[in-house]
Amino acid sequence: MKKVFVKGIKGGTGTTSIVANLACALRKSNEHVLAIDLDPKSDLGLHFGLAWEHRDGWSHYPKLTDIIEQFHRDDDGVLFLPFGDQSSTQLPFQELISSCELLQDSADAWFLFDCPAHIDITEYSLTNKDIFLEVVNCDAINHSFIYKRLQKLNNIQSSWQHYFLVNRYNSASELEFDLLQLWQSEVPLLAPIFINKDEVIKESTAFRNVAINCAPYSVANDDFETLAGWLVSRVLYDE
């Protein structure tokens, strides 16, 4: 069982699109993938073709047996679980995460969690086998948040694999280029890959799909395939 938690260091960094595209990239490599929406905005399903009118999800139910029936399967074979429209959940998200091990075929599965930005990392029960990707954009605000996060991580015992993942990188921007160069030389825990800004990610969402399906020869497709491969290597390295 491989668990990857994806969280924005602040709101609006593009976490949900990363989870959806990463799930499909792993699935295209014949991995068993389950994507679970932990964010009350409940946007993840839109990337997998779920109608925006759909309001049901795991937040409506107190038992795992009921929640299992709320999983959907997209055209690529990714199983995904919407959050639903209940702001007050009947089942704590920590219990939902721990219950994933009870699902059939969970031993070899990838579990990708779309985490809300407002819930701190310390509220998750993480193990040394878990990977936590904190999504950042190349700007001054994120620059400040990165160093605040590093200070906090230094003051807690963190056994999980934690990485900062740069998203929506625009190499044509002098500021973003300089910031990325600075982070690559000075920031520990920075993932060695980044996701480039690509309009196809916005366009694919309009079609309720993911970028790697709408534009299989795009920069976005290459980036997410690279991210998927790197995560596989991190899991193998940990084993």
Q: What is the mean pLDDT of the chain?
A: 91
What are the residues whose beta carbons fall under 8 Å from the beta carbon of 208, sequence distance 6 or more?
A: 46, 47, 48, 49, 50, 51
Domain CATH number, residue 75: 3.40.50.300
**Tens of pLDDT, residues 168-197:** 999 999 999 999 999 999 999 999 999 999
Instruction: Show the domain range for 42.
Output: 2-238
**Can you tell me the mean pLDDT for 70-93?**
89
Q: Are 133 and 166 in contact (CB under 8 A)?
A: no
Tell me how far apart the alpha carbons of residues 99 and 101 are, in angstroms, rounded to a whole number.
Answer: 5
What are the residues whose beta carbons fall under 8 Å from the beta carbon of 143, sequence distance 6 or more?
A: 179, 183
What are the residues whose beta carbons fall under 8 Å from the beta carbon of 102, sequence distance 6 or more?
A: 64
Domains held by the chain: number: 1
* The pairing of beta strand 190-196 with beta strand 131-136: unpaired
Is residue 141 scored above 90 in pLDDT?
A: yes
In the chain, % of residues over pLDDT 70: 98
Q: What is the pLDDT of residue 63?
A: 84
